[in-house]
Structure 1
Amino acid sequence: MNKRPMEATLRFELRLDTVNKIGEHPLIMVLRIAGQRKKVSTGVKLFPELWNNENQQIITLTGKIKDKLTKKYKEHLPTKNQLITWQNDLLNLKNQVIGIESRYSLDGKAYSATMVVELLKQLKTPKVKKDEPSNQIFALIDEYIKENEHTRAKGGLKIYSCLKNHLQNYHAKTKTSIRIDEIDYGFMQSFQNFLIGWEKVHKTTKNVKWLTNITISKQLSTLKAFLNYARKRGFKVNDGYKDFSIKRHKLEVIALNQMELNSLLDLDLTSNKRLDQVRDVFCFSCVTGFRYSDLVQLKREHIKEDEIRLTVKKTKEPLIVPLNIYSHEILRKYNHMETPLPVISNQKFNNCIKELCERAGISDPIERIRYRGAEKISNIYPKHKVISAHTGRKTFATLSLEKGIPAETVMKITGHADYKSFQRYVKVTEERKRNEMQKAWGAPVRNLAIIENSSQKK
């Protein structure tokens, strides 16, 4: 028996009259049978640029399109795998309609659009329900970001967006659902292994970018913090994740020594106004301990006679920093300006600092060690290559300690809340003291036999 041709016509339409807060529109299926028209939700929400109405399909997220849309939608842009999954869902929905109509046709029964829609609701598979817990964790991360967008710095919330992306990639690769109540020790171990193996090829440079253990540790600790938040919100959380310990690798402290700072201060930049201003702002950080984010927000009202009083952007804590001969002179140089310092964008500032330090001859070899799982990756760079805006704050801490200022006082000036995070600066200065002592007076001879042989020869 030949099947009757399909009498229903269907199209997918993006509802441009309805939009959510991040700019997504619901995608619906419009079903027409014998003059009757019914709208069916697909459960898919898309940005307009991701839907090709003429071809009736979700567009392929190529590198060029992704770069363009990422600038507009940032962390809300769905992954390539997610778009493929949605396209498959649309195809399955269309095939279900074809199957329902074929069944009615074979039975010789009359049917309407309403009857087809009712059967579609009954055919919803358990797979959708199983996926809901995974979607729940992603939705809760979005909710956390939204709740804290006015009380936390953007940088502090960006790590949660990164966590969501990595969890989505893990979900897509392993094909396993991620339930809040099933994240235990085993999941933490599996997720850590996934992050160690994670890598991304940059098409523009053909370079492979991978995550260091430092970044991985941050992701895992953020996941733990998020699960604590979920528990407070009343969600059932598996306590197994608490038993997973996170190994943290400390970053080396890159700071200028006094000779290098002097070389910057003495550098003749009369013919280069751009670098001259960058030098002043950077050295101001070196002699006050201010972060770049606080240099940007510094206003005339914050300067009170011989000190600066402002609320730190990162910690939201009030801070008082006394002026010294260097910082006072730099501020006096820009008395004619509306703002106290000529601060430029962070990226341009970092690029100029590297150029500036290279001109000043700050090029001693620096070893940077990173770990990817158990793999140690060591690279040697000239020092000016690894200097950034944050080096100013580190320079102030290390040089202040070397000049004899007590650690408690330096912490008060820099705004460090606990000694544990500040301790690495103390270790750096102790090592520097030892190196300078041995450089000036010679390293101690550990083997007494060498001393005896030397005496006998004399």
Structure 2
Amino acid sequence: MKVSLIVKKSVKRYDTDSTATIYARLRDGRQVDMVAPTNLSINPNLWDDKAEQVKSKIVCDDELRSFYNDEVRKIKSYLEKEYQSKEEEITKDWLKIALDKYYNPKKYYTEEEIAAEYVPTLTELFDEFLTKHKLSEVRAKNYRVIKRGIQRYELYVRATKRGKKGFTLYIDEVTPDTLRDMWDFFENEYKYFELYPAIYESIPEKRTPQPRGRNTLLDCFSRIRTFFYWCNDNKKTPNKPFDDFPLEECTYGTPYYITIDERNKIYATNLKRHPQLEIQRDIFVFQCLIGCRVGDLIKMAKGNLINGAIEYIPRKTKEGRPLTVRVPLNATAQEIVARYKNCEGNKLLPFISEQKYNVAIKRIFKAAGLKRMVTVVNPTTREEEKRVLYEIASSHLARRTFVGNLYKQVKDPNLVGSLSGHKEGSKAFARYREIDDEMKKELVDLLQ
């Protein structure tokens, strides 16, 4: 028996407006071969009949891709289960009626029968969590990445474990051993990309899987743990697998940042021969002077400039108690804003994409001759390494520069946090206490 999801209609290659119904086809030997329409419709140029999903190599909205691919998997799983558990004789209308039961269960069953019969999968509960749990846009996006990783884990188990061809995760069945197996998959996913390409064609990402360090894995599983806490709190399950799967704290190295003199050296570097790089240099220096995260920086508009200061609500705090951060602009920051006052549209500055911005920052640091060696912790191996500053410079270095230099002057985390958007009591400042030899010398001098 095989269930397929197909599109019968074809359109011209450049037709992006037409839609066609997605049909379910059920075949079982030579005796059974029937087709019936689902409630799904899609532009035929987006659909891959062979893979039964939105084409993996086509530009498409992530939410749209996820919706269609998830719904197709649910329909196939439902029809396969219904067919395998059938008791009545198969008629020519069986598939049409089965789909009607899928879409309109109340026509065929009582509320009690529906509740007793239906058990949501873990990923279906994850979708409910994403809908009902208050999350910022950025955090919701991060959770969707984890959801896709869990879906790939299911496909990996089906492909590699005997007797588990129909493997699906259910919330009540997840054990500490399941979590350990998922951890192994997440840790080694970059290897499986080449071994099992069909998995990544089915559940694609914008970039191929890369080696994940322990901190990244801990972050992923802390989010999965949050999902389980939500399920416990909302009576979705009594299962608490994380009770026997403890997560340690992430390990970070001492934060490095550039000094005010180094920042000024960057600003004074002659980049006239590279005008686009000069623009991004100005933006980086501006970020050093207001201390925001790059996601907040790129979204800044002229309306964020109010009475000589930048005002914004950090995206990271929006889902909790929104905090408005107001940072007065010093002379250099005002000079940069004035230089680009005629910037196209409503943008505060001529921003580019985050990825291109990070590439430009490395070039800027190299042009400025910032070759100082710094000690960093390799995120994958967790071992200390010595790296040249311009090789590892990024947009987040601007935020650390703002926080580090302010903290060095005032040594008050709450005051600095009011300017940087850190929450009161943030653990981040514990790391900054380790970074300043001058501060340590001041303390030792008190003993004289």
| 1:272 is aligned to 2:274 | yes
Work out whether residues 258 and 399 of structure 1, in 8 Å CA contact, stay in contact via their aligned partners in 2: yes
Which piece of structure 1 moves more, 296-305 or 357-366? 296-305
Q: In the TM superposition, what are the counterparts of 1:166-315 in structure 2 within 5 Å?
A: 166-174=149-157, 175=164, 176-200=167-191, 201=193, 209-252=210-253, 253-315=255-317
Q: Distance in 1 between matches of 2:271 and 2:121?
A: 57
Q: Distance in 1 between matches of 2:361 and 2:348?
A: 19
Q: CA RMSD in A?
A: 4.7
| 1:155 is aligned to 2:138 | yes
Match of 2:92 in 1: 113
Q: Distance in 1 between matches of 2:216 and 2:295?
A: 22
Change beyond 3 A, Cα 1:118–1:76: closer
TM-score by length of 1: 0.67
Q: Secondary structure at the match of 1:66?
A: coil
TM-score by length of 2: 0.68
Give how far 1:138 is off: 1.1
Change beyond 3 A, Cα 1:191–1:383: same
Match of 1:7 in 2: none
Match of 1:136 in 2: 121
Post-superposition Cα deviations, 1:250-290, rounded to whole Å, max 9, x if no partner, equal 33424212332121122122343222221111111112212
Change beyond 3 A, Cα 1:26–1:137: farther
Q: Distance in 2 between matches of 1:303 and 1:218?
A: 34
Match of 2:25 in 1: 29
Give how far 1:116 is off: 10
Give how far 1:318 is off: 1.0
Give how far 1:246 is off: 0.9
Q: Distance in 2 between matches of 1:210 and 1:199?
A: 6
| 1:356 is aligned to 2:364 | yes
- Paired AA for residue 355 in structure 1: R
Q: Secondary structure at the match of 1:67?
A: coil
Work out whether residues 213 and 382 of structure 2, in 8 Å CA contact, stay in contact via their aligned partners in 1: no
Q: Distance in 2 between matches of 1:341 and 1:116?
A: 57
Q: Distance in 1 between matches of 2:124 and 2:298?
A: 34
Post-superposition Cα deviations, 1:112-159, rounded to whole Å, max 9, x if no partner, equal 63689999xxxxxxxxxxx975x62212222333446xx644321122
Q: Secondary structure at the match of 2:315?
A: coil
Give how far 1:167 is off: 1.7
Match of 2:377 in 1: 369
Structure 1, unaligned runs of 5 or more: 1-9, 17-22, 102-111, 120-130, 439-458
Q: Distance in 2 between matches of 1:398 and 1:116?
A: 65
Change beyond 3 A, Cα 1:132–1:302: same
Q: Distance in 2 between matches of 1:421 and 1:116?
A: 57
Change beyond 3 A, Cα 1:342–1:432: farther
Give how far 1:355 is off: 0.8
Q: Distance in 2 between matches of 1:187 and 1:117?
A: 37
Equivalent residue in structure 1 for 2:50, among 38, 58, 77: 58
Work out whether residues 13 and 30 of structure 1, in 8 Å CA contact, stay in contact via their aligned partners in 2: no
Match of 1:341 in 2: 349
Q: Distance in 1 between matches of 2:244 and 2:441?
A: 41
Change beyond 3 A, Cα 1:359–1:162: same
Work out whether residues 26 and 95 of structure 2, in 8 Å CA contact, stay in contact via their aligned partners in 1: no
| 1:67 is aligned to 2:57 | yes
Work out whether residues 13 and 29 of structure 1, in 8 Å CA contact, stay in contact via their aligned partners in 2: yes
| 1:399 is aligned to 2:388 | no
Work out whether residues 397 and 425 of structure 1, in 8 Å CA contact, stay in contact via their aligned partners in 2: no
Q: Distance in 2 between matches of 1:396 and 1:115?
A: 66
Q: Distance in 1 between matches of 2:354 and 2:307?
A: 28
Q: In the TM superposition, what are the counterparts of 1:415-454 in structure 2 within 5 Å?
A: 415-430=421-436
Q: Distance in 2 between matches of 1:288 and 1:51?
A: 46
Structure 2, unaligned runs of 5 or more: 10-18, 99-116, 158-163, 198-206
Work out whether residues 15 and 28 of structure 1, in 8 Å CA contact, stay in contact via their aligned partners in 2: no
Match of 1:125 in 2: none
Q: Secondary structure at the match of 1:194?
A: helix
Q: Distance in 1 between matches of 2:180 and 2:95?
A: 46
Match of 2:202 in 1: none
